[in-house]
Structure 1
Amino acid sequence: MGNYQRPTQLISVAKGKELNKNYNLKRAAGIRNLIGKEDANAVWFSIDELQNYIDYIKTEGAAKGHTVDGIRFYFGVYSDTESADKAGFTTLFLSPTCKLPNSTVVAKDMTDMELLNYGSMGNPPKIEYGL
């Protein structure tokens, strides 16, 4: 599998369940009341999709003179003109970030690169972590 370093930001499964439960109780209920339906509370991308996107932003970013330093995850909501399975639902899209040359600014959104979206929300869109 290659060499890797254990990430320092790992959390336990129990913490993940706690965070998801808190979201579902403290945020999802309010969203459901506001929009009148269950909303997506998770988005899934395959390992291959994520690795391909990482390879893409590194390659295309370098070609544009960027030093890619990460990926920012943004929440969004599909417009009502989207397909019925997406219209009005929450989504997550990924934006590559870079360090600006000759600057201390890091994690600047790269607005000259395409963003990754269209992960799977599941059907129905709500899912509970660990179940």
Structure 2
Amino acid sequence: MKNPPSKPNQLITKEFARQLNVNYNKKRASLATAKGQKEDANAIWYSLEELENYIHYIKTNGAKDGYNVDGIRFYFGVYPDDEKHGEKAGLTTLFLVPTGKKAQTDTAKIQSFAMAQESSSDIQSLEPMNYGNIGRPPSLSY
């Protein structure tokens, strides 16, 4: 490999990941049981191709809309209890929303250094991504 990737700072141990998953499964399962609901999703899977395509889409279209796309925010959601959502009705989902800052001209950068320091926000002009494959039932365990 010519330029191997650097190790991300956000990596966690497999043991800690397992503990996070166990905690989620225990808490979410007890909520669902208390409400008499069906077993909920506890994992969502997207293929690398889907993720790479979405990243390409948001970078390209974000730039067209005048944004410097700098990340993706992951939101948890719950499908409406509506038969049009089929087996997913009432279950947890995870959707992705691009984040970034409006691109500034050189003049605007000079005039407002403080604005350049503001945090990234969701880009409302680009569509979120949903519909990964969910891990249920039976629930997946990490």
Q: Match of 2:88?
A: 86
Shift of 1:106: 2.2
> What is the correspondence of 1:1-131 to structure 2 with a 5 Å cutoff?
3-81=4-82, 82-100=84-102, 101=104, 103=115, 104-124=117-137, 126-129=139-142
Residues 78 and 89, structure 1, Cα contact 8 Å, conserved in 2: yes
Q: Which runs of 5+ in 1 are unaligned?
A: none
Residues 39 and 125, structure 1, Cα contact 8 Å, conserved in 2: no
Q: TM-score, normalised by structure 1?
A: 0.88
- Between 1 and 2, higher relative CO (CA 8 Å, sep ≥ 6) is seen in 2
Shift of 1:28: 3.0
The 2-side partners of 1:107 and 1:35 are apart by 39
Shift of 1:27: 3.2
Residues 27 and 58 of structure 1: CA distance in aligned 2, closer, same or farther (over 3 Å): same
The 2-side partners of 1:90 and 1:99 are apart by 29
Residues 23 and 76 of structure 1: CA distance in aligned 2, closer, same or farther (over 3 Å): same
The 2-side partners of 1:116 and 1:105 are apart by 25
Equivalent AA in structure 2 for residue 67 of structure 1: N
Query: Any idea what the Cα deviations from partners look like across 1:81-117, whole Å, max 9, x if unmatched?
Result: 2332211111000000002445222220001100100
Q: Which runs of 5+ in 2 are unaligned?
A: 110-114
The 1-side partners of 2:44 and 2:36 are apart by 19
Shift of 1:35: 4.9
Residues 13 and 28 of structure 1: CA distance in aligned 2, closer, same or farther (over 3 Å): same
More helix by share: 2
Count, aligned residues: 129
Identity %: 50
Q: TM-score, normalised by structure 2?
A: 0.82
Equivalent AA in structure 2 for residue 42 of structure 1: A
Equivalent AA in structure 2 for residue 116 of structure 1: M
